[in-house]
Amino acid sequence: MKNKFFWLCAGFFISLFVFANPSFASEPLPWQTGFQPAATPVMEQINDFHNFLLYIITAVSVFVFLLMIFIMVRFNAHANPEPSKTTHHTMLEVVWTVIPVVILIIIAVPSFKLLYYMDRVENPDMTIKVTGYQWYWGYEYPDHDNLSFEAYMIPDEDIDKSKGQKRLLSTDNQLVLPVDTNIQILVAAADVIHALAVPSFGIKLDAVPGRINETWARIEKPGTYYGQCSELCGKDHAYMPLEIRAVSKEEFKAWVKFAQKEYASYDMFKAQHIQLAKAEEF
Ligand SMILES: [Cu+2]
């Protein structure tokens, strides 16, 4: 019986280790329980803060667990037939108030530091604006000739795995960004509330109509990163992913030139699109 229990526990801890191990890809994976690997200093700090909190909650949980075991063994009706009538103990009450306060202060200081660090960046190198629509994202580059375009999810039947496209994550156009650049990210919405969430950048920010929210990113490695809308925004909420391609600064410059031609007719197209949608309503 004891042997069985041992193997049950061992199996549980081994599976915890296997499944909780964060996998190294910038996308969600089956059975993944950890964070996606960090691609920005903000996400690195969120990771560190998460690990720091894990030590604290583990210590608190183990302490409370042992204390309860001790109380159950030492003060049950058999072991302690005549209970003490003590009701107050000033010192004990001071201790169990002060220690939690100290623990909360230890948590609050790095938490606020991180909150302000995530909030905004001084003197950003460039700005992009991301707008949530039902159900796609619009990207604008005000520093690059007001370049703007939209990105729609590629439907299942059009996914081309040979091009590395991923179901529910890949989009027809990508948000292309340079690495090692402080990018100010402005977030808004045009219809209902959406939320911009890019786990490997440590970004989750509401996109609210009529309001501009701000955050920032400094991508450290070139690669493809994925995000999703994180606010229930209607029937296709689950089908408005973000595909972000981080490239070197030189490649980014070349891409801007290409994109200015590629998306030049965009505004006219958008105007027609809106007119058509309105005409359909009538
Ligand atoms: Cu949305």
- Mean pLDDT, 10 residues at a time, over the chain (282 residues)? 60 51 62 89 96 96 97 94 89 95 97 94 94 95 92 94 91 95 96 96 96 96 94 95 95 94 69 59 54
Long-range pairs of 253-258 with CB within 8 A, sequence gap ≥ 24:
255/176, 256/141, 256/144, 256/145, 256/147
11 CB neighbour count, 10 Å cutoff: 10
272 C-alpha to ligand 1 centroid (Å):
23
Contact 168, 174 (CB under 8 A): no
Other Cβ atoms closer than 10 A to 238: 13
The number of C-alpha atoms within 13 Å of 26 and in the hemisphere containing its C-beta is 25
Question: d(Cα 155, Cα 163) in Å, to the nearest integer?
Answer: 15
In angstroms, how far is the first alpha carbon of the chain from the final one?
Answer: 73
Do domains 2-21+32-119 and 126-266 share one topology? The answer is: no
* Centre of ligand 1 from the C-alpha of residue 137, in Å: 8
- The pLDDT assigned to 23 comes to 38
Q: Are 137 and 195 in contact (CB under 8 A)?
A: no
Cα(195) to centroid of ligand 1, in Å?
Answer: 6
Question: Which runs of E-coded beta strand occur in 89-212?
Answer: 126-133, 136-141, 147-151, 175-178, 183-189, 194-198, 203-207
Give the pLDDT confidence score for residue 15 in this predicted structure: 52
How many Å lie between the centroid of ligand 1 and the Cα of residue 156? 19
How many angstroms separate the alpha carbon of residue 26 from the centre of ligand 1? 21
Query: Could you tell me the distance, in angstroms and rounded to a whole number, from the CA of residue 194 to the centre of ligand 1?
Result: 4
pLDDT at 75: 93
Task: Decide: residue 102, CB within 10 A, 0-12 exposed, 13-18 middle, 19+ buried.
Answer: exposed
Superfamily of domain 126-266: Cupredoxins -  blue copper proteins (2.60.40.420)
What are the structural domain ranges in the chain? Answer: 2-21+32-119, 126-266
pTM over the 0.85 mark: no
Ligand 1 centroid to residue 19 C-alpha, Å: 30
What's 175's DSSP letter?
E
- Rounded to the nearest angstrom, the distance between the alpha carbon of 38 and the centre of ligand 1 is 24
Task: Please tell me whether residue 282 adopts helix, strand or coil conformation.
Answer: coil
Neighbours of ion ligand 1 (CB under 5 A): 194, 229, 233
One-letter amino acid identity for 9? C
**How far, in Å, CA of 62 to CA of 71, rounded?**
14
Q: How many residues are recorded in the chain?
A: 282
Record: fold of 2-21+32-119: Helix Hairpins (1.10.287)
What does the pLDDT read at residue 27?
80
DSSP one-letter string for 238-274: GG--EEEEEE-HHHHHHHHHHHHHHTTTHHHHHHHHH
Distance 230 CA to ligand 1 centre (A): 7
